[in-house]
């Protein structure tokens, strides 16, 4: 399951630098697979978790920190606990690890 940021976000930005996959973006920012990964896909996207109001997590880049850390780093640093499980995007540990490996070849 990926992590998502809820509307409780206070726009502090504490989570953004913590993500090993560069999956977290400021509001209203197009995300790219190539940001912070080894992928070459530079297409600017505004889907998959995009928000124009709050920081958001690009679902396709979130691995719940599997392969890097014991726990989701964004959730660990968020002062208002608004980085939560995304029930609509469930993945197994194996799928998350494969996703991590696909982002960092
Ligand atoms: Fe990034 Fe980890 Fe948070 Fe996912 S759980 S957005 S990989 S910091």
Atom of ligand 1 nearest to the CA of 2: 4
Mean pLDDT value of segment 73-100: 97
Query: Which pTM was predicted?
Result: 0.95
Q: How far apart are CA 40 and CA 1, in angstroms?
A: 25
CB of 73 closer than 6 A to ligand 1? yes
- C-alpha 19 to ligand 1 mean position (Å): 5
pLDDT score of 56: 98
Dihedral sign of CA atoms 99, 103, 104, 105 in order: positive
How far apart are the C-alpha atoms of 74 and 44, rounded to whole Å? 23
Ligand 1 within 6 A of 96 CB?
A: no
> For 24-58, what is each residue's pLDDT tens digit?
999 999 999 999 999 999 999 999 999 999 999 99
Say yes or no: CB of residue 60 within 6 Å of ligand 1: no
């Amino acid at each position: 399951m990926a992590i998502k940021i809820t509307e409780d976000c206070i726009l502090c930005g504490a989570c953004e630098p913590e993500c090993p996959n560069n999956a977290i973006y400021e509001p209203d920012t197009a995300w790219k697979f190539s940001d912070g990964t080894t992928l070459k896909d530079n297409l600017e996207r505004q889907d998959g978790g995009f928000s124009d109001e709050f920081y958001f997590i690009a679902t396709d880049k979130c691995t719940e920190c599997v392969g890097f850390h014991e726990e989701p780093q964004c959730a660990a640093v968020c002062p208002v606990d608004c980085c939560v499980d995304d029930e609509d995007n469930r993945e197994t540990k194996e799928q998350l690890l494969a996703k991590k490996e696909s982002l960092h070849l």
